[in-house]
């Protein structure tokens, strides 16, 4: 009788593991969830453009270019919603004298395709290439990764000699986040998109700014701190009491401005 009970429990557990393996993307990517919408309106100089990836997927993206600006932000958003939730950030980039290209992911914002670590990395590289085609070189591009986008940003910054890297609410790896959210699962074994930033961050040579909130309820602050400590290039931090999606407070703006001053020596 005990043996049947054990086998029954194991069978149920196996079914649960298989379920999470098959449907894991629904627990990682939330293209239809806009939790951070505000009433702010995008600046009138913003353009909606189409960025084409190397595998022929078209990404709806936001673009602002002023030829007088020295640096351009490539903005890589998190795992939920659309760019409409990030309008306040894009407007601040313009106010700071920065150009920006904010791409949307495959499978998000009516784009075709299915998100994956490989696919999102292709999307980010396609954003860089789009800016290159506008005459903006990698050395004048700052990659800004938000949440899930930090893993993509780290992947790309290993491959390209960009000006700097900004990481907002970064994680050490998706596997480590998964172990916290689903401690009953063999996450390392079943996870496909690992985004292991901790093992890659020390390969990046450009200056890096890490921004994280102590009260982050999605990615623990300890992960951002651990990632910061692993950086071997020039590094800066902005740690505050924010939750996951950080407010663009005067203090946060100042931390970005300090990075910009480093990149714009007088």
In whole angstroms, give the CA distance from residue 218 to residue 15. Answer: 26
Residue range 2-263 forms a domain whose CATH class is alpha beta
According to the model, what pLDDT value does residue 194 have? 95
Q: Which residues contact 31 (CB under 8 A, 6 or more apart)?
A: 80, 81, 82, 105, 107, 108, 109, 115
What is the rounded radius of gyration, in angstroms, for the C-alpha atoms of the chain? 19
**pLDDT computed for residue 1 by the predictor:** 58
What is the residue extent of each domain of the chain? 2-263
pTM of the predicted structure, to 2 decimals: 0.95
Per-residue pLDDT of the chain (266 residues; tens, 9 = 90+): 577 676 767 888 888 888 999 999 999 999 988 777 677 899 999 999 999 999 999 999 999 999 999 999 999 999 998 999 999 999 999 999 999 999 999 999 999 999 999 999 999 999 999 999 999 999 999 999 999 999 999 999 999 999 999 999 999 999 999 999 999 999 999 999 999 999 999 999 999 999 999 999 999 999 999 999 999 999 999 999 999 989 999 999 999 999 998 887 55
pLDDT of residue 3: 72
**Residue among 27, 9, 25 at smallest CA distance from 182:** 27
């Amino acid at each position: 009788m005990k043996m049947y009970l054990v086998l029954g429990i194991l069978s149920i557990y196996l079914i649960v593991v298989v379920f999470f393996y098959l449907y894991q993307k629904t627990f990682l990517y939330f293209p239809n969830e806009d939790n951070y919408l505000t009433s702010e309106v995008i600046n009138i100089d913003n353009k909606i453009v189409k960025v084409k990836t190397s595998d022929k997927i078209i990404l709806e993206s936001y673009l602002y270019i002023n030829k007088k600006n020295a640096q351009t932000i490539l903005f890589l958003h998190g795992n939920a919603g659309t760019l409409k939730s990030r309008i306040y950030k894009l407007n601040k980039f313009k106010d700071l004298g920065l150009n920006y290209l904010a791409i949307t992911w495959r499978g998000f914002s009516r784009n075709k395709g299915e998100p994956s670590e490989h696919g999102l990395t292709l999307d980010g590289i396609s954003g860089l290439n789009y800016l290159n085609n506008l005459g903006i070189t990698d050395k004048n591009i700052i990659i800004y990764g938000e949440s899930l986008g930090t893993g993509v940003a780290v992947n790309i910054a290993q491959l390209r000699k960009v000006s700097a890297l900004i990481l907002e609410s970064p994680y050490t790896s998706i596997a480590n986040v998964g172990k916290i959210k689903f401690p009953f699962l063999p996450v390392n074994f079943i996870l496909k998109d690992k985004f292991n930033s901790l093992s890659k961050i020390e390969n990046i040579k450009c200056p890096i700014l890490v921004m994280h909130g102590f009260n982050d309820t999605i990615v623990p602050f300890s992960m951002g701190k651990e990632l910061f400590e692993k950086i071997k290039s020039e590094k800066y931090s902005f740690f505050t009491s924010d939750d996951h999606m950080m407010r663009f407070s005067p203090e946060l703006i100042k931390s970005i401005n300090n990075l910009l001053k480093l990149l714009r020596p007088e």
